């Protein structure tokens, strides 16, 4: 250690000869992303065996070269770690998948500075976070709404964060939601391909907008079971936009049961929801599939419907 720095001694493989220095080091240090390595080099934190600082990330690496990397201790996150119950669907030294309950906010923001999933992860993963961009925090690459339940993945270090982010950007993550839509979608199975952007009348809402004004959004839905006044559907996301399932289902005339923003429920279904005190959108992130960003293995996880949705479905069965 030097001050608060951890000194990593790295011997490059023979195959690193001729590669850019940042690439060669990133391959030798699997917990660090290439961007993080580049930042370390530009910050004067990489030296050769003679102690000469290597400043150029694009310099050619030499085979079997021994390098010293001064890795600063990750700065503590500004958010407070809190001991909260979490349902863990999957966890290893690289990432964690949480089965989030409805009502839990994912990330601290104005009005929700604590009691969030990030606060809980900071406590649960204490000592395991090697840092995202130099900060000891979980890497959240996607979010689900406060009142939506289900699976969400977070990275523990740069390399995992970068790998997951690339998959989300490439739309290769398999994300499927179970939802209760009002009425009977027609056709029973279909695709909604409609760009989403901020509503021009309410900036807190998303809306279907003209092509070119928002971001392309694609939802594939299929009917699972017709119910009284509603339909249990599976929605597979090809893209992942804010409120995508909620807005797309409302757009085709079948807003989600209980959605306080994008839909209104008529009698007698509204009376059933009131009697059950069901006051959230009936939406659950039920399946999450991705390629593990470090091991390369396929990860596929399923989450059962929470009790409030199961009980509501039972009551609405024809």
Residues designated as active site: 145
Query: For residues 290 and 174, is the Cβ–Cβ distance under 8 A?
Result: yes
- Other beta carbons within 10 Å of 159: 23
Distance CA 123, CA 84 (A): 8
Distance CA 74, CA 31 (A): 13
Chain centroid to CA 235: how far?
17
């Amino acid at each position: 250690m030097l001050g608060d720095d951890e000194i990593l001694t790295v011997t490059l493989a023979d195959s690193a000869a001729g590669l850019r220095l940042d690439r060669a080091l990133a391959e030798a240090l699997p917990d660090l992303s290439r961007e993080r390595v580049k930042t370390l080099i530009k910050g004067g934190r990489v030296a050769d065996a003679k102690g000469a600082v290597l400043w150029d990330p694009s310099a050619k690496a030499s085979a079997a070269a021994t390098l010293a990397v001064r890795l600063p201790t990750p700065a503590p996150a500004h958010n407070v770690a809190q001991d909260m119950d979490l349902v863990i669907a999957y966890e290893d030294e690289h990432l964690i998948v949480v089965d989030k309950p409805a009502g839990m906010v994912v990330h601290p923001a104005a009005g929700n500075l604590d009691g969030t999933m990030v606060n809980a992860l900071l406590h649960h993963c204490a000592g395991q976070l090697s840092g995202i961009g130099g900060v000891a925090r979980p890497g959240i690459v996607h979010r689900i709404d406060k009142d939506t339940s289900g699976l969400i993945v977070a990275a523990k270090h740069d390399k995992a964060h970068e790998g997951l982010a690339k998959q989300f950007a490439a739309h290769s993550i398999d994300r499927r939601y179970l939802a209760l839509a009002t009425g009977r979608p027609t056709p029973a199975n279909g695709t909604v391909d409609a760009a989403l952007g901020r509503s021009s009348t309410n900036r807190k809402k998303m809306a279907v907008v003209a092509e070119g004004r928002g971001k392309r959004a694609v939802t594939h839905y299929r009917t699972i079971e017709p119910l009284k006044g509603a339909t249990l559907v599976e929605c597979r996301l090809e893209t992942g936009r804010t409120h995508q399932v909620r807005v797309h289902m409302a757009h085709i005339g079948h807003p989600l049961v209980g959605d306080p923003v994008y839909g209104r429920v008529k009698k007698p279904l509204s009376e059933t929801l009131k009697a059950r005190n069901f006051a959230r959108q009936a939406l659950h992130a039920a399946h999450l599939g991705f390629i593990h960003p470090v091991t390369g293995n396929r990860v596929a996880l399923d989450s059962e419907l929470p009790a409030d949705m199961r009980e509501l479905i039972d009551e609405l069965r024809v």
